[in-house]
Structure formats: structure tokens, C-alpha cells
Amino acid sequence: MTRFPILLLDYDGTLAETQPAILRSLKEAFDAVGVTAPSADVLKQELTRGGTLQTLFQAIAPKSDERDAASFVRHYRAFYPAADEEETVLFDGVVETLTALKEQGKTLAILSNKHAPTVHASMARFGLEPFFSGVVASEPNFPHKPDPRVMEERVLPLFPDLPRSAFLMVGDTVADLQFARNAGIASCWASYGHGSAIQCAALQPDMQIDIFSNILAQAV
């Protein structure tokens, strides 16, 4: 058995450079709900947390309620598909690296806090879906990273009877690395992504990659 037969891969900032599409859609959604959008730098700082749209909106607009947040999320999701299609790109070498990982015998799954239909649509546009045995993404009434229930309720049922030592979480933000720690699995920090270097390093990931193709040597 290889060292980590199952790789859990984040999407935003790990496989795909989605930040331009996200920033554009956030600005459009803030405008739509009548909230002044913060600067791009402030929004980028919020994105380092790797949270959900709801947590981002509530951090920017702390006096808002759940209905306000829900409205913001609806607007964002209406705007995002066009922005994603026009501005999102895969990081260099992603398709070639995924192909090589499959040739190594790895089982791959997406583990993202991004809205599940949005993840599927973006993956389909890039032809990525055949590489993956499962996609675990944000859905109503389900926990999200870094909650360890994601492992118990959503990941392990896809891969029954496998020990936690079989899994490697690969992601770019504190949400990914803290999830791995909370779930008791190994972690790999994608340092080229959207995360905060200081915050991610503080979580002492088991390994680090500076370009996605580095995972080929790390996960053998």
C-alpha cells in the first residue's frame, strides 16, 4: 500500500485559481444587498480563513442576521457562474499531476467548503470529474471544514474500513489544516494558494508543496 492511498484535495486555491472570480462575485453581491464592499485586501484576508460565504458576510457585516446572510449568498451564487467561467483557471500542471496520481494508484476526492453545485460545474468545465471518486462540498445542514464531523459523517462513509492513516488532506488555508488536525489525519499545505503563511505554518502541517505537482513526491 502506498503511504497515502487516499488524497482529499481542496478546490479553491489548491487545484484552481478562483480568487479573481470570487472577489468579483463578492463585490457584486455586496452591491446587490446594499452593503458597502470592503477593499480587495480585506476580502482577500477573509478568504485566507477558508470559511463559507455565510461566515465571510457575517464577519464583514456583524450586525446582519441570518436572513441578510442568506440573501447575500443567493446573490453571490447567481453572479458566480459567469465570473467562474470567465476568470477561473487551473493552476499549472493540475491535469498532468492528477493523471500521474491516478497512475500511482491514488484514490482522489474533493473536500471543499465551496457550494457543491458550483464545485461540480467548475470541475465539469475543466474535465476534472473523471479523476475523482467523490466530491464532498458545502450543502445545507451539513458541517464544513474544519469541523471534524465532516470526516465522520461525509468522508469515512465513502471509504469504509480504511484507517485514518490512509488519508492526506491537501489544502491551502487554515480551514484545511485545522480540519486535518481535528480529524486526526495527515495534512499537506499548498503554500501557493489563498491561505495566510503565518497562520498555516503555525498549524505545523505534515508537509508543504509550493506548486501542485510537488504532491507527486510528497504523497508516495
Question: Which helix (DSSP H) or strand (DSSP E) does residue 75 occupy?
Answer: helix 66-87
The residue extents of the domains of the chain are 6-17+89-218, 19-87
Contact between residue 173 and residue 198 where contact means Cβ atoms under 8 Å apart: no
Please tell me the predicted confidence (pLDDT) of residue 172.
Answer: 97
Judged against a pLDDT cut of 50, whether residue 1 lies above it is answered with no
Cβ-count burial 121-152 (b if 16+ within 10 Å, e if not): ebbeeeebeebbebbbbbeeeeebbbbbebbe
Backbone φ/ψ region at 218: left (φ over 0), alpha (ψ -120 to 50), beta: alpha
The span from the CA of 75 to the CA of 63, in Å, is: 19
Judged against a pLDDT cut of 60, whether residue 71 lies above it is answered with yes
Cell matching residue 189: 499545505
Report, as an integer, the average pLDDT of 133-145.
Answer: 94
Q: How confident is the prediction for the chain on average, in pLDDT?
A: 95
pLDDT category of residue 2 using cuts at 50, 70 and 90: low
pLDDT in tens, 204-213: 999 999 999 9
Cα-based angle 27, 28, 29 (whole degrees, multiple of 5):
90
CATH architecture of 19-87: Orthogonal Bundle (1.10)
pLDDT in tens, 151-201: 999 999 999 989 999 999 999 999 999 999 999 999 999 999 999 999 999
Percent helix, strand, coil in the chain, to 5, is: 50, 15, 30
Percent of the chain whose predicted confidence (pLDDT) is above 90: 90
Judged against a pLDDT cut of 60, whether residue 140 lies above it is answered with yes
Reduce the DSSP state of residue 17 to 3 states and report it.
strand
Sign of CA dihedral 50, 112, 141, 75: positive
DSSP state, residue 19: H
Please tell me the predicted confidence (pLDDT) of residue 49.
Answer: 86
Strand 16-17 and strand 89-90: pairing?
Answer: antiparallel
What number does CATH give the domain 6-17+89-218? 3.40.50.1000
Please tell me the predicted confidence (pLDDT) of residue 67.
Answer: 92
